[in-house]
Amino acid sequence: MDTISENRCFGGTQGVYRHASDATGTDMTFGLFLPAEAADGPVPVLWYLSGLTCTHENAMVKAGAQQWAAEQGIALVFPDTSPRGPGVPDDAAYDLGQGAGFYVNATQDPWAEHFQMWSYVTDELPRALFSRFALDEGRQAITGHSMGGHGALTIAMHFPDRFASVSAFAPICNPMESDWGRKQFTAYLGPNTALWEAHDATVLMRARGFPGPVLIDTGTADQFGNHLGTEAFAAALAARRQHATLRLQPGYDHSYFFVSTFMEDHVSFHAEALYGVTE
C-alpha cells in the first residue's frame, strides 16, 4: 500500500492511499480520516460511499465530515466509485463505466473483468484497512450519497451483523424501476431482473429490513428526484415497520451543499449507534 498524502486535520490525519486490488485487477485509491484517538487504539469506522462521477476525493473534500467525525472519535473511509486506468472499459455517458460502478459485481462483458466493486468494498478493502490501521472491526457504520446511498443501503442489508447503523443522502432507492438502475443493471448484470433484486434497496427492505437504525435525507428540490425512488422506499419502510427516519428537506437539491448541511446530523446519528455497540 502506497501513501499518496497525509495531512493534519481536526487533530487527526486525513490520508490518501493506493493499493493493488485483486478484485478489480487495478490499482485503487481511497481516503481515510483517522481521529486523534486512533493513536491510542482502534476507533469506530464510518464508511462513506460516493455517487456518480465521483472519486474518493469528492466527499473527502466537500462533505465536511472530518470535523464532526473528529468530535466523535470516528474514522471515515472514502473508497473510489469504480476501477480506473488503462484497459478499464468506459462509456461516453456519465452514468455507466468509470465513476459509475454501482457497487455491484459485474457478470457481463466488457465490464466483468474489472467492475467487481461489491467484492472490493465489502471484502478486499476492509481486509486491507483492518490489517494496517487502528480501526475497530466490531464497530462499523455506513452512509453514502446518491449511487453511494444505494450502495450503503444494499450493503447494510446484506451485512446486518457488520453495521450498527445505515444512513444515506438522496439515495437511489429503487433502481429496478429507475433510469438510474435499469440501464446499469442490464449492462453489468444482464437482462435477468431476478438477479437485480439483491441490489435494490426497496426490494431488500421489503424482504429483509435492517436490525439497526436507518436515516435518510432527500431534498424536495432534488433535480434527480425522479431517479431516486424515495416514495417506493418509504412505502417499503412502512410495510416492514422498519425503525427509520426519512426526512424530506425543503428546498435542498442533490449537491454537496445539501450533503454538507446535514453531515453533522448523520455523523451524530452513527456515533450514537457505534458507541452503543458492546464488545
Per-residue confidence (pLDDT) for residue 276, from 0 to 100 = 84
Q: Where in the sequence numbering do the catalytic residues fall?
A: 146, 222, 254
The upper half-sphere exposure of residue 177, i.e. CA atoms within 13 Å in the direction of its Cβ, equals: 13
Per residue in 215-254, pLDDT (tens digit) is 999 999 999 999 999 999 999 999 999 999 999 999 999 9
Q: Is the pLDDT of residue 195 over 80?
A: yes
What percentage of residues in the chain have a pLDDT greater than 90?
A: 98
Residue with cell 433535480: 223
E-only strand ranges, the chain? 2-9, 12-20, 27-34, 43-49, 75-78, 135-144, 163-169, 214-219, 244-249
Q: Is the pLDDT of residue 199 over 60?
A: yes
Per residue in 3-27, pLDDT (tens digit) is 999 999 999 999 999 999 999 999 9
Mean pLDDT of 73-91: 96
Per residue in 136-152, pLDDT (tens digit) is 999 999 999 999 999 99
Per-residue confidence (pLDDT) for residue 264, from 0 to 100 = 98
Q: How many CB atoms lie within 10 A of CB 94?
A: 11
Please give the distance of CA 90 from its chain centroid, rounded to a whole number: 21
CATH superfamily of 2-275: Alpha/Beta hydrolase fold, catalytic domain (3.40.50.1820)
Query: Is the CB of residue 31 less than 8 Å from the CB of residue 7?
Result: no
Q: Is the pLDDT of residue 278 over 50?
A: no
The strand order across the sheet containing 75-78 reads: 2-9, 12-20, 27-34, 75-78, 43-49, 135-144, 163-169, 214-219, 244-249
For the stretch 55-58, contacts whose Cβ atoms lie closer than 8 Å and that sit 24 or more positions apart, written own/partner, are 55/29, 55/80, 55/81, 55/99, 56/16, 56/29, 56/30, 56/31, 56/80, 57/16, 57/31, 58/256
Backbone conformation region of residue 114, classed left if phi is above 0, alpha if psi is from -120 to 50, else beta: alpha
E-only strand ranges, 104-205? 135-144, 163-169
pTM (2 d.p.): 0.96
Burial 51-64 (b: 16+ CB within 10 A, else e): bbebbbebbbebbb
Per-residue confidence (pLDDT) for residue 33, from 0 to 100 = 98
Instruction: Measure the CA–CA gap between 225 and 88, rounded to whole angstroms.
Output: 30
Q: Is the pLDDT of residue 166 over 90?
A: yes
Q: Is the pLDDT of residue 181 over 90?
A: yes
Q: Is the pLDDT of residue 279 over 50?
A: no
Give me the amino acid identity at 79. Answer: P
Mean pLDDT of 149-171: 98
Give me the amino acid identity at 208. Answer: R
Mean pLDDT of 27-49: 98
Domain boundaries, the chain: 2-275
pLDDT band (50, 70, 90) for residue 277: low
